[in-house]
Amino acid sequence: MAKPSHRRDASGDMRNYAKEAKWQSSPEQRRNRSERNKARRKLGLKVGDPREADHKRPLSKGGGNARSNLRAISRHANRAAGGRLRHAH
């Protein structure tokens, strides 16, 4: 019998893992992941570093991976900012 592709995650919400896997392997998502990894390398962030590469001008708003557009910030701060334009403090 095949395993169901819908399961509850840690918060109790139902997730369709088969659909997520298909979405994550789409050309667009692979390209996005590649851009995020390039930004991490430019900042020198290593595996296990809790910080994330933040784009001051988000990629979705036309920003790039130039060093002047990147900064390392906490995951919480990066998620709270979303896709808004940010200014360096």
Interval 11-54: pLDDT, tens: 777 888 888 877 778 888 888 889 889 999 999 999 899 999 99
- Residue 2 belongs to some domain of the structure: no
- Residue 30 belongs to some domain of the structure: yes
Angle at CA 23, nearest 5°, toward 20 and 24?
A: 85
- Residue 11 belongs to some domain of the structure: no
Residue 3 pairs in a beta bridge with: none
Query: What is d(CA 56, CA 77) in angstroms, rounded to the nearest whole number?
Result: 12
- Residue 9 belongs to some domain of the structure: no
- Residue 57 belongs to some domain of the structure: yes
Which tokens belong to 59?
A: 């990629």
- As a whole number, the mean pLDDT across the chain is 83
Find the domain containing 47 and state its range. Answer: 19-81
What's the N-to-C CA distance of the chain in angstroms? 55
Query: What is d(CA 9, CA 11) in angstroms, rounded to the nearest whole number?
Result: 5
Asked if residues 28 and 60 have their Cβ atoms less than 8 Å apart, the reply is no
Decide which of 24 and 56 is more confident.
Answer: 56
* Number of structural domains found in the chain: 1
- Residue 32 belongs to some domain of the structure: yes
- Residue 27 belongs to some domain of the structure: yes
